[in-house]
Amino acid sequence: MTAPKKLFIKTYGCQMNVYDSERMAEALGGEGYVETDTPDDADMILLNTCHIREKAAEKVYSELGRYKGLKAAKPDLKIGVAGCVAQAEGAEIVRRQPMVDLVVGPQSYHRLPDLLAKTQGGARALDTEFPDEDKFGHLKARPKARRAPSAFLTVQEGCDKFCAFCVVPYTRGAEVSRPVDRVLTEARDLVDRGVREITLLGQNVNAYHGIGPDGADWSLARLVRELAKIDGLARIRFTTSHPNDMDDDLIAAHGDCDKLMPYLHLPVQSGSDRILKRMNRQHTAESYLALIERLRAARPDLHLSGDFIVGFPEETEADFQATLDLVEAAEYGSAFSFKYSTRPGTPAAERAQVPEDEKTDRLHRLQALLTRQQRALQDAMVGRDVQVLFEKPGRMPGQMGGKSEYLHAVHVAGADVAPGDLRRVRITASGPNSLTGTLL
C-alpha cells in the first residue's frame, strides 16, 4: 500500500480562513494527503494567508524563507500560498520566492487538485481569478469522520462596503451568499458527525441573502430559524456583522430563537462621527448605540463584542475621546482593538498619518478600558448558572473545558463529562480569561 502524503497547513487570520483551511485539506485529501502538525515531514506546505493586519505580505515572505532549507533538502516538497495575500500579490510571490509551486486566491481553492497536478512536472500554477462557478458547489463532499462539538460554516463571502481602511473587497470580491439548500445540507452533515454548535461565517454575515428552496431571497434571520429546526443542533452563532445590515427580523431572532446564542460581534471601529465618515462606515455613533439598545431590548442578557481602530488618519484626541465615550456607553464583554496600519490601494493609505507614539498611547488607553469592562462582566458571572458546551480537557488534570452561551471559556474539575456534552454549571470563580464552575 502506498504511504499517504503529508500536508502541513498554516492558517493566518480570521475564522473564515480556518474554515477555508479545513476545506482545502479535504480537497487535497482526495489526492492522498493527510494532515501533519509539522512542516518538517510534510510533502506539501500550504500557507493560508490573511491581508488584514500590518505588513501581512512581508510576514508571508518571511515565513516562506524559513522553508528554503526544507525545499533544498527535499526537492519534491510542494509549497503553496493561498488566501488573501495570494490574491493581492499574485505572481509577485513566485517572483520573490521562486521555490513556491502554486498560488491560489480564496475564491479558487476548489481548483487546488488541478493546480497541484500542474506542478508535478516542475511548472508553476497561479490562479487568482474570481471564477464564475461557486467554489462550494465544486468541492468534494466532506468526509464522514467525527468532528469537534463546535464548527464553522461559511454562508457569505466578500464585501460591498468599501471601508477606507480595508482590502477585503479587493481580495475576497463582491458580496456573495451561498444557496440555502447547500448551507442546510452542510449543517446537517456536521451535526450527523457530532457537531452541536455552528458559527455561521461571512465578511458581512448579516448581509446574507441566499436563494431558498422556494426561489425566494432568504435573510440571515430566516436561515437561522431554519437551522434551528435541525435535531441535535443545540447552538447557533454568527460573525462578523455590519451595523448597517442588522435588520428588524434579525434583531427579533435574538429574542425569539432559543438556539441563537446571546453573544454578538458587532464592529464599530470608532466613536467619532467625523472619523466614521472618513472610514466610509455609513453609520454614526448614535445609530450604533441605538441599535445596541434595540438588540438588548430583544435579548437583555446579550454580551457584546466589537472591533476598534485607533490612530486612523486625521484622528484627533477629541475623536479618540469620542471612541472612549462610546465604549463606556456600550459596555463590551470583549473586543478587538488595533492601531491603524496602511493597506496599499485603500483610500486611507494616502492620507496624513497619526504619529506612531500617539497611536500606541491611544491603543493602551482603549485596551485598559475594554479590559476593565471585560473583567467586570466576567466577575459578575460568579454565582450565576450557565449552560456549557464541553469541548476538550482543560489545562489541569481531571479538568474539562468548554464555552458558555456567552462565549466565556469555562473550566470544571472532576466532572464526569465528555466532549459534546451540554450541561448546566454554576460559576464559582472568575480568572483573567476564563471562568471556573461546578456541575449542577
Is 79:99 a contact under the CB 8 Å cutoff?
A: yes
Which residues sit in the known binding site for [4Fe-4S] cluster? 14, 50, 84, 159, 163, 166
pLDDT at 192 (0 to 100): 95
Same-domain status, 111 and 158 = no
**H or E stretch at 376:** helix 356-379
Query: For residue 101, what is the domain's CATH number?
Result: 3.40.50.12160
Same-domain status, 277 and 250 = no
pLDDT at 139 (0 to 100): 65
Q: Give the residue from 407, 403, 396 showing the smallest Cα distance to 422.
A: 403
Same-domain status, 355 and 283 = yes
Boundary residue ending a domain (201, 226, 261)? 261
Is 357:311 a contact under the CB 8 Å cutoff?
A: no
Boundary residue ending a domain (75, 94, 127)? 127
Is pTM beyond 0.75? Reply is yes
362 has a pLDDT exceeding 80: yes
Q: What is the pLDDT of residues 192-239, one digit of tens each?
A: 999 999 999 999 999 999 999 999 999 999 999 999 999 999 999 999
- CA 408 to CA 434: how far, in whole Å? 6
Q: Grid coordinates representing 140?
A: 468534494
Q: Quickly list DSSP for 56-123.
A: HHHHHHHHHHTTHHHHHH-TT-EEEEEEHHHHHHTHHHHHH-TT--EEE-TT-GGGHHHHHHHHTTT-
Residue 297 lies in a domain: yes
Residue given cell 452561551 in the structure block: 405
Tell me the residue range of the domain where 311 lies: 264-380
Kindly state the DSSP code that residue 368 receives in the 8-state scheme.
Answer: H
Residue 109 lies in a domain: yes
Which residues sit in the known binding site? 14, 50, 84, 159, 163, 166
Residue 235 lies in a domain: yes
Percent of residues, the chain, with pLDDT higher than 90: 67
CA within 13 Å, CB half, 243: 26
- CA 390 to CA 398: how far, in whole Å? 13
Same-domain status, 298 and 401 = no
Q: Give the residue from 145, 88, 140 showing the smallest Cα distance to 112.
A: 140
Q: What is the pLDDT of residues 231-261, one digit of tens each?
A: 999 999 999 999 999 999 999 999 999 999 9
Phi and psi at 48, nearest 5°, equal -100, 105
Q: Give the residue from 43, 42, 52, 49 showing the smallest Cα distance to 21.
A: 49
Residue given cell 488595533 in the structure block: 338
**Total number of domains in the chain:** 4
Is 144:193 a contact under the CB 8 Å cutoff?
A: yes
What is the pLDDT confidence band of residue 134, given thresholds at 50, 70 and 90?
low
* Cβ atoms within 10 Å of 203's Cβ, excluding its own: 24
Same-domain status, 282 and 369 = yes
Same-domain status, 165 and 90 = no
1 has a pLDDT exceeding 60: no
Same-domain status, 86 and 190 = no
- CA 88 to CA 168: how far, in whole Å? 10
In terms of pLDDT, which residue wins out, 306 or 139?
Answer: 306
